[in-house]
Amino acid sequence: MVEKMDLEEAIKRAQKRLKDFELIEGNFIIGIYKGVKEVEVKGKKRILHRILNEKDGEEYGIWDTAVLQEELKRQNVKIGNRIAIKYCGKPSGKNYHDWIVLKDMEEEDGTADLPI
Confidence check: pLDDT of 2 > 50: no
pTM for the structure as a whole: 0.75
What are the φ and ψ backbone dihedral angles of 17, each rounded to 5 degrees?
-75, -20
Listed by start position, the domains of the chain span: 12-113
Q: What is the pLDDT of residues 9-19, one digit of tens each?
A: 656 655 566 89
C-alpha–C-alpha distance, residues 57 and 99, integer Å: 22
Average pLDDT, the chain: 84
**What is the tens place of the pLDDT at every residue in 8-48?**
665 665 556 689 899 999 999 999 999 999 888 888 898 99
CATH class, 12-113 region: mainly beta
Model pLDDT, residue 39: 84
Q: In the chain, pLDDT over 90 holds for what percent of residues?
A: 63
**Separation between Cα atoms, residue 24 and residue 86, nearest integer Å:** 10
At residue 98, the pLDDT reads 96
3-state helix, strand, coil in the chain (%, to 5): 15, 45, 40
